[in-house]
Amino acid sequence: MRECIILAGGMGTRLQSVITDLPKCMAPINGKPFLFYLFEWLKKNDFERIILSLGYKSEAVIEFAKKHNSSFEIEYVIEEEPLGTGGAIALALQHCKNSDIYIINGDTFFDVNLNDFFQFHTEKNAELTIAAKPLKNYDRYGSLLCTEEGRIIGFTEKKATIEGNINGGIYLLNSKSLLLSGKTGKFSFETDVLEKYFQERRLFAFPDNGYFIDIGIPEDYYKAEKDFKEIFG
């Protein structure tokens, strides 16, 4: 059974010029919420159970999800106060049933080959595998530094980069690992877990050239509107 946490509690602060008073995952793309397209992708990839991690305007997300003709079970986990990416994941994990959990950002679409992703994760006996997107000439993202076998050995800050691999916003986490052991409350998954423990834990990156977009800024939001017409018909 494929099970997935969707981190969908963000406010979309940088998109306020485009969307008003909506969670970022509900930003309308060609008349449908961004979350609609994530659901379609999850359905295509045979997911059976979804945990929606919610915060800001959670009622709008729940209303949409209940009306959506989903082929999977949906559970809702609502933060009483903002917990950061790490706190949101730790809270949602309490509701998961699988030993390997997919985690995706509610404002990012990355068409990863999940069969290859899972096989890589399993073969490496990874505690966590990040789906990495190879990019050229970027400055909006930090980069993942890896060995030839894909083990993460470092992270770089956002800077002008000619070529590299970025964190594509999809994780595969072994829920039995101790990566999040003892961590509660508000914390950043990226800073307080990945960047802090990569030297001592089995963290890997799986590069994939599938379509990627992060709608966090207006420029890419409008690009998604154009691209999704072709991708989703």
Domain map of the chain by residue range? 2-231
How far apart (Å, rounded) are the C-alpha atoms in residues 163 and 154? 16
178 pLDDT above the threshold of 80: no
Neighbours of 197 (CB within 10 A): 15
pLDDT class of 10 with cuts at 50, 70, 90: confident
pLDDT category at 70 given cuts 50, 70, 90 is confident
d(CA 102, CA 143): 21
Beta strand pairing call for 203-207 and 152-156: unpaired
The answer to whether 18 touches 218, Cβ cutoff 8 Å, is yes
- Model confidence pLDDT, tens digit, residues 104-142: 999 999 999 999 999 999 999 999 999 999 999 999 899
Task: Determine contact, residues 99/69, Cβ cutoff 8 Å.
Answer: no
The pLDDT value given to residue 179: 81
Is the CB of residue 133 less than 8 Å from the CB of residue 212?
yes
Query: How sure is the predictor about 171, in pLDDT bands with cuts at 50, 70 and 90?
Result: very high
Residue partners of 138: CB distance under 8 A and separation at least 6: 160, 161, 164, 166
Over residues 29-34, the mean pLDDT reads 94
d(CA 133, CA 120): 15
The pTM (predicted TM-score) of the whole model is: 0.94
Integer Cα distance of 74 and 60 in angstroms:
15
Contacts made by residues 43-46, CB under 8 angstroms, sequence distance 24+: 43/70, 43/71, 43/72, 45/2, 45/114, 46/2
Contact 89, 5 (CB under 8 A): yes
Question: In Å, what is the CA distance from 92 to each residue of 85, 88, 180, 192, 233?
Answer: 11, 6, 12, 17, 32
Q: Residue 92 — pLDDT band, cuts 50, 70, 90?
A: very high
**How is domain 2-231 classified at the CATH fold level?**
Spore Coat Polysaccharide Biosynthesis Protein SpsA; Chain A (3.90.550)
Residue-level pLDDT at 181: 78
Q: Are 169 and 214 in contact (CB under 8 A)?
A: yes
Count the residues in the chain: 233
Average pLDDT, the chain: 91
**Residue bearing the bigger pLDDT, 69 or 230:** 230
Q: Please give the single-letter amino acid code of residue 22.
A: L
What percent of the chain stands above pLDDT 70?
96
